[in-house]
Structure 1
């Protein structure tokens, strides 16, 4: 019985969170014209980078494993931010389960 409890606790800890931790307050600091390195200083390494035409889309996603998750993405063109999302003040609650996506 004790071994089963240890396995359950270990699994819960390993599944505790996924992605790149960030806050929406930090995401609001990213501005059009910033370089890749400036974005990484604010946000850390992106969870995912994908390409669409000449644009790179940097995706930051974080989930706690307890039902809360948040995602934000930035579009970079030629190594500089070309589009940022509008993030409403209501997104301040950590783990609000809301996604902020960029729109060109």
Structure 2
């Protein structure tokens, strides 16, 4: 019974988190003209990278059972940020 409970708790903890953790304050630091290396230093590796007409879109998305979900994306072209994320000040 104890082993079953431990397994359940571990599974619940793993299911409860998905994506790349980040904070809104980190995302607010991203500015137009920053390099890919600068962005990665602040935000960590993106969860997803996709191509668009504007350039490469880097996406960070994170969800957990305790604080909900959040997602942010930036557009990078020729190795530099061309469209930083617009994040309202009231997001914590």
TM-score when scaled to structure 1? Answer: 0.80
2:62 partner SS: strand
Gaps of 5+ in 2: none
- Aligned mates of 2:25, 2:60 — CA distance in 1: 13
1:1-104 matched pairs, under 5 angstroms: 1-53=1-53, 55-66=55-66, 68-92=68-92
Point out where structure 1 has 5 or more consecutive residues left out of the alignment: 93-104
d(CA) in 2 for partners of 1:91, 1:23:
10
**1:14-72 deviations in whole A, cap 9, x for unaligned?**
22311111111110000000010000011000000000136000000111134601100
Distance of 2:66 and 2:12 partners within structure 1? 10
CA distance in 2, matches of 1:84, 1:54: 12
Moved more, 54-63 or 29-38: 54-63
TM-score, with structure 2 as normaliser: 0.90
Point out which structure has higher relative CO (alpha carbons under 8 A, 6+ apart): 2
C-alpha contact (below 8 Å) 1:18/1:65 kept by paired residues: no
CA distance in 2, matches of 1:48, 1:54: 16
After superposition, the CA RMSD in angstroms is 1.5
